[in-house]
Structure 1
């Protein structure tokens, strides 16, 4: 009751403009364990940045956040039918929980975003709730950008060599030859000899000043089969700002099938490229495809862990495991049979202590000692 009294007092200080918007012209603050729900627009013309507790966006109507100053929320959850539209940046200091409804920002303006500072993270992003526009980070080295479009969640996983002062990302389900929000085009015919074709269906925009690798997933809508029938030929390419051509971004062999899978790049500087998408390599890539595996972590000492005997040849290795949406759920350097159905990465995994849900997962392992990369599938039966 005490927290509710504090919040009501602050709302009087902020002032209500009829029932169409909450206009904050003062100093609005949510104390620890406090909760505030928005069923209407927020016009933030005052201070709203020293918050604890939870801010929720709820209801059947579109909710707009605007104003002269950027609000900062500790925890936020989005449970809307028509989404939340950002006309200025919103900072998430702790957790953004996506439930239903997108958080949208103008794709023509990367300076307006759902921003995650140093300790910010997100959970629950999916096809029905994500960022349709720009998501950004500050003071982070690695991050899964919860971006997509009206229909699909299309995350980009960034892993940088150093902490990024600022990094931004958005997804575009558009033909890069005729992008609607750019003054220039990214001609898919302008490509190097080691790339045979470039996707004309989608691309990502990623800004960042630090050398980084990215991991992207494709789905059935990506139509990878129009690029190649050989998954090992799927690569990532970037539109070079210097040469105005697509460039091969390197990386290990991709993993998956024609309907879902994951591609990983070598290290590059995101700011050197205006767009990133899928392509088909014109040259064969060295990889080793092993058997599929079954993991049943039920304590019977049979298939309780992912065990790959070939890794004995290369103690210096790197294991990555992805779910069917292309989101990384496990990452281990010098893997020695640790995976037993639990995630070890800091991303959107829900109910982490209960283990990952049953289903098909992809894995990519780099064997540094012998200079090989191999890939495959595993089925997790975590019931």
Structure 2
């Protein structure tokens, strides 16, 4: 049965599949049965939702309204078709909430605790949103399921700070949150991301903000800065602004440079090269150092055909620094080889888990780019080579 609800719910059409039970004394709608909003139906929440039942076959609108904070919790994640938020405070998520069609941001944030990333607002395949702004967004973790390209409507309590994800293939799951805080003292991570731990050619790393991005598909990101980013303390040259990421492997900030930055120091945009988000704990803005810190070595030709001539990539200068680190990328920016303490092991085959076509047959002919760090000398080099079969 449907028990009497001790608060007002604006209602166009509600059709309940089975039952809604037990409206609690704490002013919450408690579902332990089967609740459904049919096509054309509109269910307005002015109170908390506790979902311990089935609430996932919806084709109508669920709205979250009022001037008091609301929460959505329960053992089972609700899957809502259309969602609308017009709440002067927050709608807190203490469970996963799925969006299967459209989310309309009007006023108020969907808030997820950043120290509990298992709770998030999830956009399912083909779902989307409208109306995101400084006064209405996701303050916490937003995710996508079965989507390839997406702009995460994330931010903090003051501003929306979206991140654009463009992936090589569909993401089974990708997750993003924004942090307006110094990465040297992150509030919800067990370790700090020391902005002084970086390669020599990287002149600086932002201490104002960072994003957390998860996903296992090679992707690029697009990020924007504004006055609150305070780019002037990072660099005086927009052309030097790049995307950087805190590497889980090297435990330092690494360059994820892609396209040239555009804008001025007050506002602008920058795009990264291709990278795998799960290999990095955080991403933010960095600035390249002076050109003299980035020295180019020779360019090379390798012909890995087993004739004993140019079969491997040989960089003689590495003998000066046995403690080195080599990265090789193809012309699309996909990392195809990585090795610490390299001594001529690259003979045309990939050794990383990225998506590489024809891995067993060897990499295709063409131009490849390398970046090598001579850690003993605190020098970094870049160059390219052509591989012919």
What are the within-5 Å matches in structure 2 for residues 1-383 of structure 1?
7=14, 13-18=20-25, 20-283=27-290
Contact 1:45 1:67 survives alignment (8 Å): yes
Aligned positions, number: 282
**Deviation of residue 10 (structure 1)?**
6.0
Provide the rounded CA distance (Å) in 2 between the counterparts of 1:109 and 1:257. Answer: 36
**Deviation of residue 19 (structure 1)?**
6.5
Greater gyration radius: 2
Contact 1:136 1:169 survives alignment (8 Å): yes
What is the DSSP-based 3-state SS (H/G/I as helix, E as strand, rest coil) of the residue aligned with 1:232? Answer: helix
**Deviation of residue 120 (structure 1)?**
1.2
Residue number in structure 2 paired with 1:317: none
1:310-358 residue CA offsets vs partner (Å, 9 max, x unmatched): xxxxxxxxxxxxxxxxxxxxxxxxxxxxxxxxxxxxxxxxxxxxxxxxx
What is the DSSP-based 3-state SS (H/G/I as helix, E as strand, rest coil) of the residue aligned with 1:83? Answer: strand
What is the DSSP-based 3-state SS (H/G/I as helix, E as strand, rest coil) of the residue aligned with 2:89? Answer: coil
Contact 2:181 2:209 survives alignment (8 Å): yes
**Deviation of residue 60 (structure 1)?**
0.4
The worse-fitting range, judged by mean Cα deviation, of 103-112 and 201-210 is 103-112
Residue number in structure 2 paired with 1:362: none
Contact 1:14 1:28 survives alignment (8 Å): no
What is the DSSP-based 3-state SS (H/G/I as helix, E as strand, rest coil) of the residue aligned with 2:71? Answer: strand
**Deviation of residue 18 (structure 1)?**
4.0
Provide the rounded CA distance (Å) in 2 between the counterparts of 1:106 and 1:5. Answer: 33
Taking structure 2 as the reference length, the TM-score comes to 0.70
Contact 2:80 2:98 survives alignment (8 Å): yes
Residue number in structure 2 paired with 1:291: none
Provide the rounded CA distance (Å) in 1 between the counterparts of 2:123 and 2:19. Answer: 29
Query: CA 1:21–1:251 in 2, change beyond 3 Å: closer, same or farther?
Result: same
Contact 2:145 2:174 survives alignment (8 Å): yes
**Deviation of residue 242 (structure 1)?**
0.5
1:133-166 residue CA offsets vs partner (Å, 9 max, x unmatched): 0000011100000000000100000000011110
1:28-51 residue CA offsets vs partner (Å, 9 max, x unmatched): 000001100000000001000000
Taking structure 1 as the reference length, the TM-score comes to 0.71
What is the DSSP-based 3-state SS (H/G/I as helix, E as strand, rest coil) of the residue aligned with 2:20? Answer: helix
Provide the rounded CA distance (Å) in 1 between the counterparts of 2:138 and 2:279. Answer: 24
1:185-234 residue CA offsets vs partner (Å, 9 max, x unmatched): 00000011121010011000000000000000001000001111111111
Contact 2:59 2:82 survives alignment (8 Å): yes
Unaligned runs of 5+ in 1: 285-383
1:82-141 residue CA offsets vs partner (Å, 9 max, x unmatched): 110000010000111111001000111222100001111111111000000000001110
**Deviation of residue 5 (structure 1)?**
8.6
**Deviation of residue 7 (structure 1)?**
2.0
Alpha-carbon RMSD across the aligned residues, in angstroms, is 1.7
Query: CA 1:21–1:256 in 2, change beyond 3 Å: closer, same or farther?
Result: same
Provide the rounded CA distance (Å) in 1 between the counterparts of 2:16 and 2:286. Answer: 57
What is the DSSP-based 3-state SS (H/G/I as helix, E as strand, rest coil) of the residue aligned with 2:98? Answer: strand
Contact 1:242 1:272 survives alignment (8 Å): yes
Provide the rounded CA distance (Å) in 2 between the counterparts of 1:194 and 1:158. Answer: 26
Unaligned runs of 5+ in 2: 1-10, 292-389
Provide the rounded CA distance (Å) in 2 between the counterparts of 1:234 and 1:152. Answer: 21
